[in-house]
Amino acid sequence: MSEAECIFCKIARGEMDAEVVHDEDDVLAFKDINGKAPVHVLVIPRQHVANLEEIGDLPDAVVKRLFEVSSAAAQKLGVTEGGYAVRVNNGPDAGQEVFHLHLHVMGGKRLGMP
Ligand code: 5GP
Ligand code: ZN
């Protein structure tokens, strides 16, 4: 999937609407359109990388920022006390549907594995 077609690149470029929770230069957090928990946010690097196999293409500071923004989003939406899960679905067996690396931040209910 090219960056022109990628839906998360379109959201990052402002070409598609999303309910933004946190916006900064290299990282964006927005609500999942089909939330599976009371709080379900997606945290993405603005730079297109498909999956964890390509994470080396991101500057180290951006990789760190993905986790810091996950925490900031959880704090903003009030789930740090109750706790939350941060999850990457990587590849077909994990159910990855959008091939632009993203962290799911989920909370507001008891979460199990998987
Ligand atoms: P994956 O299965 O790839 O880890 O997760 C992709 C997630 O993106 C899904 O939870 C899905 O609901 C969400 N999603 C797909 N398309 C859109 C969209 O256009 N906008 C938003 N906000 N979320 C989307
Ligand atoms: Zn993309």
In a domain, 114, yes or no: no
Prediction pTM value: 0.98
| Ligand 1 residue neighbourhood (C-beta within 6 Å) | 7, 18, 30-34, 42, 89, 95-98
In a domain, 113, yes or no: no
Distance between CA atoms of residues 58 and 91, nearest Å: 19
Report the pLDDT value the prediction gives residue 112, as an integer from 0 to 100: 87
> Is the pLDDT reported for residue 72 higher than 80?
yes
> Is the pLDDT reported for residue 114 higher than 80?
no
Q: Whole-number mean pLDDT of the chain?
A: 97
Q: Which domain holds residue 95?
A: 7-107
Q: Is 40 a catalytic residue?
A: no
If you average pLDDT over residues 69-81, what whole number do you get? Answer: 98
Residue 97 alpha carbon, nearest atom of ligand 1: 3
Q: What is the number of alpha carbons within 13 Å of residue 25 lying toward its C-beta?
A: 4
The whole-angstrom distance between residue 29's C-alpha and the CA centroid of its chain comes to 6
Residue 89 alpha carbon, nearest atom of ligand 1: 4
Q: In the chain, how many domains are there?
A: 1
CA–centroid distance, 16 to ligand 1, in Å, is: 13
Q: What are phi and psi of 52, to 5 degrees?
A: -65, -25
| CATH code (residue 40) | 3.30.428.10
Give the residues across from 103 on adjacent strands: 43
